[in-house]
Structure 1
Amino acid sequence: MTDTTPEIQPTVLKPVSRPRPFKTGRTIVALMMREMQTTYGRSPGGYIWAILEPVGAIAMFTFVISVGLKIRIPSLGSNFPLFYATGFLPFSLAMSTSNKVASSLKYSRSLLQYPGVQYTDALLARFLLNVLTHVMVFFIIMSGIHFIFHLSTIRNVEAIGMSLGLAGFLGLGIGTLNCFLFSISPLWTSAWGILTRPLLLISCVLYIFEEVPWQYQHIVAYNPLVHINGLMRRGFYATYDARYASPLYVLAFGLVCLVLGLVLLHRYHRYILNR
């Protein structure tokens, strides 16, 4: 009698692949830890320098303006450090984020050769670490200024948060686009350094927008950093409305740069890494 029972094949258990978001999260955290060690871990003082640099810049502005130029009253309020901090700190956040993100491919080139590491992981890691560091520095410096000078301000938390968020997003957008441009054109790297040198003077860091001559205000308003600084000063000065500040303009500016940069990097990142 012939056995017609079908042969049962053993079941082979395949390893369950975890969703990509979990893998991306671990990769980003690993890249952030690596940068923390290389950027801050090898220098004496480590993270202290992230605080001392903006503190030194604010102290220098205060000394030069109040002592060198003998200007006793800032454009808003009566405290120089607070006035310059509300302009310099969001400016520094946007510019530093832009520069960090722009060098992401160059900084993580060796790691991007591994299939598990994507170029977007490198962008997000540098973006998140830089933003978190600057936000921490912002709260430390602002708390210190209020404590040392015994200030009591009515803070608009919504405007402060919006200014910090837009500064980080603008830096991400410009940095992503420059990440592509820097990688394919060393000439643009040099040109960008020259173009951004006067930004500190034309971004309403040392003065307010209303002090710009009226015939140039429409030109200065194209600078998204002016709107970010206006929002920050609205957050610390209850009498300053900053009606010119447009969060939508900054958001659109950063979004256009971000989308364009991501499209170009998605198309050419392998070519850039294999050059």
Structure 2
Amino acid sequence: MSYLFTHIRVVGALLVREMATRFGSKPGGYIWALLDPAAHIFLLTLVFGAIARSPALGTSFALFFATGYIAFQFYQAMSSYLNSAVRANRALLSYPNVAPIDTVVARFVLQLGTTSLVAFIVLGAIIATMRVETSLHWPLILEAVAMACVFGLGIAMVNCVLFLKYPLYEQVFGIVNRPLFLISGVFFLPDSIPDPYRDLVLINPLVHIIMGFRKGFYPEYRAIGLDMNYLYGIAFLTLFAGMLVFTLSRKTLRNE
């Protein structure tokens, strides 16, 4: 029990430190966290609104792209921010009460809170300004968010170790991870892709995350190919692999 309280206190202290480091003492840092996704969504809305008559779902380009972008960000922002959790706090690991996992947990809590707040404000603003009433299905939305966070956490825990041990892997991962934004369904609906290419697209678990998230905003969306059992399997298998690699590499994380 005393270990648990120590762990909570350490995570709390790291959380405060991460907030100060990431956002600074001025409100401008928090405002930028909101403006960045809002600017991306606004740009996508302008570009696609100029070349298409209507979005693939509903009548609002802004809502369509926001549901894709925000869902993707729950994975992307989580994994990219947690990747360097141990490396960025290396000096603190010399203290025996600070464990490598504490740095990951602190960043996980901060990123989850940040992305959730941004999603609430951006999507709320879009829905509030829409002329059409929107019916939200919260269980589907929260389920997709949870799986995105679990998957991102698993990937990040693996990368925390491999980035330290194999610098080349970090470069390769960056190259492979970069096009995911384009092929995960942010701009399009996988339903519209003909076979057999649709089956290839559906191998990507992020596609299922975005489909599930969008289904919570569009009751009429059939989401053909959505397989939550597949998503659960991939997400928790990745998390298990991450926890295993992270646990077996505790000495490496402290001393590398």
Query: Could you say whether these structures have the same fold, taking a TM-score greater than 0.5 normalized by the shorter chain as the test?
Result: yes
1:266 aligns to 2:209 (yes or no): no
Could you report, residue by residue, the CA deviation over 1:127-151 in whole angstroms, capped at 9, with x for unpaired residues? 1110111011111111100122334
Q: 1:171 aligns with which of 129, 148, 152?
A: 152
Q: Equivalent residue for 2:38? A: 55
Q: Which runs of 5+ in 1 are unaligned?
A: 1-17
Is the 1:170–1:251 contact (alpha carbons within 8 Å) kept by the matching residues of 2?
no
Q: List aligned pairs for 1:1-275, cutoff 5 A.
A: 19-41=2-24, 45-67=28-50, 70-275=51-256
What is the DSSP-based 3-state SS (H/G/I as helix, E as strand, rest coil) of the residue aligned with 1:155?
coil
Specify whether residues 59 and 223 from structure 1 end up closer, same or farther in structure 2 by C-alpha distance, changes over 3 A only: same
Tell me the CA shift for residue 250 of structure 1. 2.0
Contact 2:154 2:243 in 1 (8 A): no
Q: TM-score, normalised by structure 2?
A: 0.95
Q: Separation in 2 of the partners of 1:163 and 1:84?
A: 16
Q: How many Å separate the matches in 2 of 1:243 and 1:66? A: 25
**Which residue of 2 is the match for residue 14 of structure 1?**
none
Secondary structure in structure 2 of the residue aligned to 1:245: coil
Alignment check: 8 A CA contact 1:28 1:125 kept? yes
Counterparts of 2:157 and 2:232, CA distance in 1: 15
Shift of 1:262: 2.0
Deviation at 1:29, TM superposition (A): 1.2
Q: Secondary structure at the match of 1:72?
A: coil
Tell me how far apart the structure 2 counterparts of residues 43 and 252 of structure 1 sit (CA, whole Å).
Answer: 42
Tell me the distance in 2 between the aligned counterparts of 1:232 and 1:260.
25
Gaps of 5+ in 2: none
Counterpart-to-counterpart distance in 2, 1:42 and 1:253: 39
Q: How far is 1:27 from its partner? A: 1.0
Aligned-partner residue type, residue 166 of structure 1: M
For 2:6, what is the secondary structure of its paired residue?
Answer: helix
Aligned-pair distance for 1:44?
A: 6.1
Q: Larger Rg: 1 or 2?
A: 1
Write the distance in 2 (CA, Å) between the matches of 1:19 and 1:136.
32
**Counterpart-to-counterpart distance in 1, 2:131 and 2:184:** 28
8 Å CA contact 1:59, 1:81 repeated in 2: yes
RMSD: 1.4
Task: Report if aligned partners of 1:184, 1:272 keep a CA contact under 8 Å in 2.
Answer: no
Distance in structure 1 (CA, Å) of the matches to 2:99 and 2:44: 41
Q: Which amino acid aligns with 1:46?
A: G
Q: What is the alpha-carbon distance in structure 1 between the residues aligned to residue 251 and residue 26 of structure 2? A: 33
Q: Is the 8 A contact 2:157 2:245 kept in 1?
A: no
- Give the letter aligned to residue 79 of structure 1: S
Distance in 1 between the 2:141 and 2:171 partners? 33
Q: CA deviation at 1:90?
A: 1.0
Please identify, of 100-109 and 50-59, the stretch whose mean Cα deviation from structure 2 is larger. 100-109
From the two aligned structures, give the one with the greater helix fraction: 2
- Identical aligned residues as a percent: 36
Q: Which amino acid in 1 is paired with 2:118?
A: V
3-state SS of the aligned residue for 2:249? helix
